[in-house]
């Protein structure tokens, strides 16, 4: 089962281990056992049948944010998070996954999303009935986290598409989810089921746009890795919006007079290198001297602490990572923290409700009203 990862596991096992200092979980826990390279060492031993994958060992593989930072700093470009996905799959199949995941796994298995039946109610509340899976060239894939926690972002996104005269539909399927929460938990069976069902709808459109980096990674990368191909062009909303601004289809009225610090979402920056498009949009939304950068930015950014299901399995570690990211924000003291990911926004909101955390789409909507 692990033969296809032989190269990754062996390289990581015998490497000088330069990734340990970049891993947010390692920094939060300050112990060698949870470093990316030690995780691969354990996989090496499991592969050689030297140790069993029991619940104690499986716990180590859930101490990962899936943020890709280890890969960004790895000279060999070893994809540790991808190997971790396989380790979690084996853990779930062997029933040695963390007990904290039991409810999450059951909810996803029953409803094919992590939020249950209320997700469909959220979609209905947006008043987009005429757009649901309608005949159009572009499909807006909202994603479950945006839909459940930040439906205002979805409303802003549709308003922007309307202003730009885009012929679009809004995705709705049995799950209303890309399947990433199942993949991160190790339930690859449910992930593949969601991917196949979604593909039947997605492949009816020329272009798919989403505001969620995790959805983007699933539709553009993870589906294909699991044998499900999406033929459509797939974009993050900031890619589309930046082109609309450049072409004059989207006109920004006047910049905000507040200061902002932009947090790069991990999957957006590291999987796809989408970091200049959000900054171009910000350059139109704010005065140049009002935009502040984190020292860890672009594809060398630092995780918000919300990835890899850490808030479910290891909430204290998750919060430690978030607080580490916010240290620099507090020091710079800008008026708001801006991001382009609903999970990042939710994570920062939960860590410190006093911070003004904004999604870039909401800001764009506010400044492009008719």
| pLDDT at position 1 | 61
**How far is the C-alpha of 123 from the C-alpha of 339, rounded, in Å?**
23
Give, for all 370 residues of the chain, the pLDDT tens digit.
Answer: 667 777 777 766 766 666 778 899 999 999 989 999 899 889 889 888 899 999 999 999 999 999 999 888 887 788 889 999 999 999 999 999 999 999 999 999 999 999 999 999 999 999 999 999 999 999 999 999 999 999 999 999 999 999 999 999 999 998 999 999 999 999 999 999 999 999 999 999 999 999 999 999 999 999 999 999 999 999 999 999 999 999 999 999 899 999 999 999 999 999 999 999 999 999 999 999 999 999 999 998 999 999 999 999 999 999 999 999 999 999 999 999 999 999 999 999 999 999 999 999 999 999 997 6
Residue 152, judged by CB atoms within 10 A of its CB (0-12, 13-18, 19+), counts as middle
Q: What is the DSSP string of 59-128?
A: HHHTS-----HHHHH-TT---HHHHHHHHHHHHHHTT-S-GGGHHHHHHHHHHSSSSTTHHHHHHHTT--
**How far is the C-alpha of 14 from the C-alpha of 35, rounded, in Å?**
14
∠ CA 205-109-81, rounded to 5°:
75
Q: What is the DSSP string of 200-217?
A: HHHTT-SEEEES-HHHHH
**How far is the C-alpha of 240 from the C-alpha of 113, rounded, in Å?**
27
Residues 6+ apart with CB under 8 A from 64: 25, 36, 39, 80, 81, 84, 308
| pLDDT at position 250 | 95
Task: Walk me through the domains of the chain, giving residue ranges and CATH numbers.
Answer: 3-97 (no CATH), 101-242 (3.40.50.1860), 253-367 (3.40.50)
Q: Which whole-number Å values give the CA distances from 142 to 102, 171, 213, 242, in the listed order?
A: 26, 7, 11, 19
| pLDDT at position 192 | 96
Residues in the chain: 370
Three-state DSSP class for residue 195: helix
The residue written with tokens 């959220």 in the block is 122
Would you give the DSSP letter of residue 286?
Answer: B
Pair of tokens at residue 153: 């972002």
Report the candidate in 48, 40, 44, 42 with the shortest Cα–Cα distance to residue 17.
40
Our separate counts of H helices and E strands in the chain read: 22, 8
Three-state DSSP class for residue 233: strand
Residue 243, judged by CB atoms within 10 A of its CB (0-12, 13-18, 19+), counts as middle
| pLDDT at position 17 | 66
């Amino acid at each position: 089962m692990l033969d296809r990862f032989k190269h990754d596991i062996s390289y990581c096992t015998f490497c000088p281990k330069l990734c340990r200092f970049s891993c947010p979980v390692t920094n939060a826990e300050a112990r060698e056992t949870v470093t990316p390279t030690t995780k691969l060492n354990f996989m090496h031993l499991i592969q050689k049948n030297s140790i069993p994958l029991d619940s104690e060992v499986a716990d180590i593989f859930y101490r990962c944010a899936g943020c890709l930072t280890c890969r960004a700093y790895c000279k060999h470009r070893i994809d540790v998070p991808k190997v971790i996905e396989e380790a979690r799959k084996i853990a779930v199949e062997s029933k040695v996954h963390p007990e904290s995941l039991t409810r999450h796994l059951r909810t996803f298995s029953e409803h094919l999303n992590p939020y249950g039946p209320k997700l469909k109610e959220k979609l209905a509340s947006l008043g987009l009935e005429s757009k649901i899976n309608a005949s159009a060239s572009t499909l807006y894939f909202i994603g479950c986290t945006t839909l459940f926690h930040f439906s205002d972002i979805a409303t802003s996104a549709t308003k922007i598409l309307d202003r730009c005269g885009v012929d679009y539909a809004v995705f709705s399927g049995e799950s209303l989810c890309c399947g990433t929460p199942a993949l991160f938990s190790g339930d690859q069976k449910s992930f593949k089921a969601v991917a196949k069902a979604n593909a039947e709808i997605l492949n009816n459109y020329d272009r798919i746009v989403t505001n969620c980096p995790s959805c983007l990674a699933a539709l553009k990368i993870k589906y294909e890795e699991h044998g499900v191909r999406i033929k459509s062009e797939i974009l993050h909303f900031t890619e589309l919006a930046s082109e609309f601004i450049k072409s004059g289809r989207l006109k920004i009225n006047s910049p905000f007079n507040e200061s902002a610090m932009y947090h790069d979402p991990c999957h957006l920056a590291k999987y796809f290198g989408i970091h200049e498009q959000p900054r171009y949009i910000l350059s139109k939304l704010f005065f140049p001297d009002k935009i502040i950068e984190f020292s860890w930015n672009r594809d060398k950014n630092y995780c918000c602490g919300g990835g890899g299901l850490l808030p479910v399995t290891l909430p204290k570690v998750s919060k430690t990572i978030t607080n580490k990211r916010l240290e620099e924000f507090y020091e710079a003291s800008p008026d708001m923290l801006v991001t382009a990911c609903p999970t990042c926004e939710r994570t920062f909101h939960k860590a410190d409700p006093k911070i003004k955390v904004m999604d870039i789409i909401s800001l764009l909507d506010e400044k492009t009203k008719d």
